[in-house]
Amino acid sequence: MPVIAAQPYEFDYPAGKLALVVIDMQRDFVEEGGFGSVLGNDVRPLAAIVPTVRRLLDGFRAAGLPIIHTREGHRPDLADCPPAKRARGRGKLGIGDSGPMGRILIDGEPGNDLVPELAALPGETVIVKPGKGAFYATRLGHLLETQGIGHLVFAGVTTEVCVQTTMREANDRGYECLLAEDATESYFPDFKATTLAMIRAQGGIVGWTAPTDTIVKALR
């Protein structure tokens, strides 16, 4: 079986049965004027990983392996957004409100698009998720099952929220999960560092972590 050098120990996977899941690299979270910056966050650390995520995408594309992109977004009528979620934060603007990039976290609005450098190519799957985890109320589980994929590499934002939530969902469903350490980011550096430690603690209780270049080299 192919092997990727990782922590806490080597990550192996069946040849051809590894997929990349890129979580929520969308304008609302990564660019100035999006939801992330409206909440008062410094989006520059998230924008800085775009070239690294692109290297990871290019590595999977060159290897001919499946790629899945997610976007956190809701229907225009907000029927799939629980009131408790919309009420969180108590900021000046919330989910569904009009912001600099259109209605915030609404599918089809400019801010909900993936950043241009990481746009999905034909044949790559884009899943719009109403929650933090990518398995909740989506077709992700069915898609992976039909392709016989049980091993996943993760990238995207934010490390401690949507990325970790999806990894834990995947772990509970029996998937083996590897997080690309430098292709994920948080608005809070301490949160990222703690999440990486949590993921690989106790012999990989949630999964593995490895640098992007190590992953791409192994795919070659």
Catalytic residues: 24, 129, 162
Tokens of 8: 């806490």
Q: Which residue has the tokens 């799939």?
A: 80
Angle between helices 164-172 and 189-204 (to 10 degrees): 20
Strands 11-12 and 3-4: antiparallel
Rg (CA), the chain: 17
Amino acid residing at 117: E
Q: How far apart are the first and last CA of the chain?
A: 14
DSSP 51-80: HHHHHHHHHHHHHT--EEEEEE-B-TT-TT
